[in-house]
Amino acid sequence: MNYKLLFVCLGNICRSPSAENIMNHLIKEADLAEKIICDSAGTSAYHIGSAPDRRMRAAAKKRNIILEGTARKFKVSDFEEFDLILAMDRENYRDIIYLDPQEKYRDKVQMMCSFAQNHNDKEIPDPYYGGESGFDYVIDLLLDSCSGLLEYVVRN
């Protein structure tokens, strides 16, 4: 049986594809690729079909992680398909749970930073309008959060 994770941010070109690819990197290192499946989506339709942002790809490449994939929008059927839906910030969280008015899937939606072990951030900041250091920080924060998330998934 596979455990399915969905990472969600606003446009699905910076934070969520980074989380997806970092998680896949860690899963591969742990030899768990047959057990854990990852995907990512955005709450908006701004960038559907786009590759991850070039600045995000550059920040990930510094850590030997290649960002792949194309942006898509979160859909209501994702609630059924995934075991855990990870929001990058509070606004993403609100946008996701808004699509679940009966609160049937509320327990599946978590904040990504809740799995961080070495950072106290409550949200993964959106680096889109910032400089290079913001992208580097997001990668560091996601590496920490994904490591904690992997431990959580393996335990449960």
Return the active site residues.
9, 15, 126
Closest C-alpha among 88, 55, 52 to residue 67: 52
Q: Which residues pair with 5 in a beta bridge?
A: 38, 84
d(CA 91, CA 77): 20
Contacts of 41 (CB under 8 A, 6+ apart): 6, 7, 8, 12, 16, 71, 72, 73, 74, 75, 78
